[in-house]
Amino acid sequence: MKKGIIIFLSLLFFGCGESKKFPYELVNYKPELKDENVLEVYALSGELNPEEFKNFCLKKKSEFKLAGYYKIILFDKKENFFKTNAPVLSAYQILGEIESRSHIIAEYTYGKLNGYSELVITVNGKSETLKL
């Protein structure tokens, strides 16, 4: 009995293994206004699983403490990533960058101040919008 309690407590405090590793590589991090606005850009490694990316965004949302505006962009491949010069609020929306948006397969936007939380996933040229 005592041994069982020790094992249970060990699992409780140390976890049952590694936390889930998502197939996204951070390729750019852009904070603005002393971290009030943050852009994180990732590249996908493998196939996109929309439900898994949704869970990734929800996890990131729960970790986001300071900023007022938070944006995650997911590119289909690391090779297709390009750095934007635009401010976080208009990242990848300005003329000259729009043509390259075909490599952006998901975009998550979170406004902490007003609670706006939206995920747009594009698969095979069709976009789906989810409120998170």
Q: Where are the alpha helices (DSSP H) in the chain?
A: 2-14, 50-63
Edge-to-edge, what's the strand order for the sheet holding 37-44?
24-32, 37-44, 69-75, 104-111, 116-123, 126-131
Q: What pTM was computed for the model? A: 0.78
Ordered by start, the domain boundaries in the chain are 19-131
Profile the chain (132 residues) by mean pLDDT over runs of 10 residues: 42 44 91 84 92 94 84 92 80 66 90 91 88 88
- What is the pLDDT, as a whole number, of residue 14? 41
Query: Considering only CA atoms, which of 55, 87, 83 is closest in space to residue 71?
Result: 87
